[in-house]
Amino acid sequence: MIKRELVRKDPAGYEIWQETSILPNYVAVSLDDEPETEDISEIIQEIEGASGQTVIMEVAYTPDGNYIGTPEFAAFLCGKRGIAPETITPNGKVYCIGFSGRDQKWYGWSHRAVYGFGIGSKIESSDCAYEPKNKEDFRQNCLRFWQSDNHAKVWAVADERGPEG
């Protein structure tokens, strides 16, 4: 069971909730017939050691109760970029698209990146929405993406791996 408590309502239109839950009891075993290594033993102990622990986290939701992500990601999307999140389907509970009235673009995102398109946007090779014509075009597109600076058009949220880019 998850206990939820409203922390605050942000002026950008989302809510921050604190969620508290207790982890179930875990049992972990090695899946192969090889003798258990010290590394595997440590992993098993860590997994089983999490049993029954209390987990507290802050999560961002829309006022309707639909999941946006971390408070930092919600601040980035809604506050900094002015994106109003929406669900893809009428009964969806996770928001991964939205419109920004500031720059008149529709955005899509995952846990790794955000990309926006507006009226007049042109889809070019190496853009995330580009659809390769065949297997060779797909291969070339992958190479173009990582060998050019086009991937710099994709935003990322800052985390322990580095700054927002």
Tens of pLDDT, residues 98-136: 999 999 999 988 877 888 888 888 887 667 777 889 999
**The predicted structure's pLDDT at residue 79:** 94
Burial class of residue 117, CB neighbours in 10 A (0-12, 13-18, 19+):
middle
- 22 pLDDT more than 70: yes
Contacts 24+ apart (CB under 8 A), 141-144: none
**The predicted structure's pLDDT at residue 146:** 73
**The predicted structure's pLDDT at residue 134:** 93
Phi, psi values for residue 137, rounded to 5°: -65, -40
Domain-located, residue 87: yes
Domain-located, residue 59: yes
142-160: average pLDDT? 61
Phi, psi values for residue 151, rounded to 5°: -65, -10
- Give the chain's mean pLDDT: 85
Nearest C-alpha neighbor of 16 from the set 63, 77, 54: 63
Domain-located, residue 94: yes
Domain-located, residue 146: no
pLDDT over 90 percentage in the chain: 45
**The predicted structure's pLDDT at residue 5:** 97
The string of pLDDT tens digits covering residues 35-65 is 888 988 899 999 999 999 999 999 999 998 9
Q: How many domains does the chain have?
A: 1
Question: What whole-number distance in Å separates Cα of residue 95 and Cα of residue 99?
Answer: 12
Domain-located, residue 32: yes
Adjacent-strand bridge partners of 99? 84, 106
Question: What whole-number distance in Å separates Cα of residue 63 and Cα of residue 65?
Answer: 5
Domain-located, residue 145: no
DSSP labels, 19-50: EEEE---------SSSPPPHHHHHHHHHHHHT
- 149 pLDDT more than 90: no
Q: Which residue has the tokens 């239109």?
A: 13
**The predicted structure's pLDDT at residue 140:** 86
137-161: average pLDDT? 66
**The predicted structure's pLDDT at residue 153:** 57
pTM as predicted: 0.68
Domain-located, residue 161: no
Please give the residue range of the domain that contains residue 77.
2-121
Question: What whole-number distance in Å separates Cα of residue 118 and Cα of residue 129?
Answer: 13
